[in-house]
Amino acid sequence: MTQEQSAQAVPAISILIFSDDLVSARLLKQILAHRGHRVQEVSKVPLLHAAIARQVPELILLDVIAPGEAVYALCQDIKASLATQLTPVLFVSAFQQVTDKVRAFEVGGDDYLTKPFHPAELLARVDRHLKLARLQQELAKEKLALEQSYAQLRAAHQRISLMSGVLTEHLTGVLLDGKYLLSAKLDSGGFGVVYRAEHVALQRPVAVKILRLQHPNLAESQLERFRREGVSTCRVIHPNAVTVLDSGVSPEGIPFLVMELLTGHNLAARLAQCGGVLPIAESLRIIEPICEVLIEAHAAGVIHRDIKPENIFLHSGPGGEVVKVLDFGIAILRGEDDRTMTSVTKLGATPGTALYMAPERVQGGRADGQADVYSLAVMLYIMLCGHIPFSVTHDDALRTMFSHSYEQPVPLHEQNPAIPSQLATVVMGGLIKDPGQRPTAREFLAQLRASALE
């Protein structure tokens, strides 16, 4: 390729030369112009700034005899400007001291060429820095475009999430996923809405839980929690655990769980109806099947972590009342996916309900089956006497969590002297601070059954 062909092959660009060496500046301009570049030469700082204001150059040459502090300061100003911070700055100087070169790089210079220079070396360095500058500029444009697209997607996601939170309350009459006809809303909470529905093909009544997506920042963790609820429940095969029949995301983007349809009310409602206290026999009749579910769950590697009256349903079945354990939404699954499941629930706050939270969970430790036993013991304590085990109010979550860790529970027989001493001892044993000293679900059940024979 001839020199003329090479000049035609290189696109014309803008190079600005600031020089106090007129001879060198003319030589630089001649070499660069012959290559096909558009070159402008200035000898005063105000003229340099004026030229940049008119058109930002693609490359700046600081052609000086001695690169003193004024030149270094000029380079710093160029690099500090938003308009020229990506513009390559090349020093061209007769000074060859290492200290001069180092200083030039310290103030933002991109290269340092000593005089006398060879034209081929000058052009090679200019070409290299122009290519790098173009890449940086393209990357900056792509980054800006991606940020703008992300902002638009985020805004759209937020609108969809907020709309989803509203729509979940108004799905009566909808045929979900082409299979489930939603007929009536049964319950509504912060995490989801439960509908009575019918599996149309099987003509079977079911309950469908719809995930409520309320904030885009939490959508991923909410979806994972919802998925975990289905997986955890399916691992626990027991007649006293609610049965999940199906799960998925509808073509309209609605996450759902299909469960057996229960009729009746939860334990919290039963306690409210009875003034906060249940007879001993009824309390044990409710607690024993919960223990059996926990034994099965722990054997399957599932730690429920949210045992409380609201998650215990008293189902009116054909053969009488059946206790059902609900809501495995914050359960931990022991096994190959333990780390994934655990990370989703650690979002800056301990998941669960403060009143029933075991000390090791309050303190951020590893939860095992004994944490569920602690929650169960708190619940049984309340069922038997109508009071919580500590000297705090129900609505003081922080003090309650502190009490779980550091305050000894009030002995059950002091709250209700009518409780048999052996039963009271069993309940208090479930409230031991050290999980290693606390009974397992199987041991707790055996102790309860033994106390009933007293």
Distance of CA 60 to the CA centre of its chain: 46
Cα gap 90→62, rounded to integer Å: 6
3-state secondary structure 149-186: HHHHHHHHHHHHHHHHHHHCCCCCCCEECCCEEEEEEE
For residues 207 and 260, is the Cβ–Cβ distance under 8 A?
yes
Could you tell me which of 390, 384, 373 has the C-alpha nearest to residue 424? Answer: 384
Strand partners, 113: 92
Query: What is residue 192's predicted lDDT score, i.e. its pLDDT?
Result: 78
Distance of CA 199 to the CA centre of its chain: 34
Statement: residue 10 has pLDDT above 80: no
CA distances to 324, 358, 360 from 297, rounded to whole Å, are 13, 18, 19
Query: What is residue 397's predicted lDDT score, i.e. its pLDDT?
Result: 79
Which pLDDT tens digit goes with each residue over 346-385?
444 556 788 999 999 888 877 789 999 999 999 999 999 9
| Residue tagged active-site, from 21, 100, 110, 306 | 306
Give every CB contact of residue 359 below 8 A, 6+ residues apart in sequence. 374, 404, 405, 433, 435
Residue 443 sits at φ, ψ, to 5 deg, of -65, -40
Mean pLDDT over each residue of the chain, to the nearest integer? 85
Domains belonging to the chain, first-starting first, are 3-142 (3.40.50.2300), 168-261 (3.30.200.20), 263-454 (1.10.510.10)
95-102 long-range contacts (CB < 8 A, ≥24 apart) are: 95/65, 95/66, 95/67, 100/67
Which pLDDT tens digit goes with each residue over 314-345?
999 888 999 999 987 777 776 544 444 444 44
Question: Is there a catalytic annotation at residue 306?
Answer: yes
Which pLDDT tens digit goes with each residue over 255-310?
888 999 999 999 999 999 999 999 999 999 999 999 999 999 999 888 888 899 99
At which residue do the structure tokens 């959508």 appear?
219
pTM score > 0.75 for this model?
no
Beta strands across the sheet bearing 59-64: 38-42, 14-19, 59-64, 89-93, 111-114
Burial class (CB in 10 A: 0-12, 13-18, 19+), 106: exposed
Provide the pairing of β-strand 302-303 with 332-333: antiparallel
Burial class (CB in 10 A: 0-12, 13-18, 19+), 11: exposed
Higher pLDDT, 313 or 346: 313
Query: What is residue 236's predicted lDDT score, i.e. its pLDDT?
Result: 84
Instruction: Give the CA radius of gyration of the chain.
Output: 37
Higher pLDDT, 366 or 410: 410
Statement: residue 411 has pLDDT above 60: yes
Per the document, the length of the chain is 454
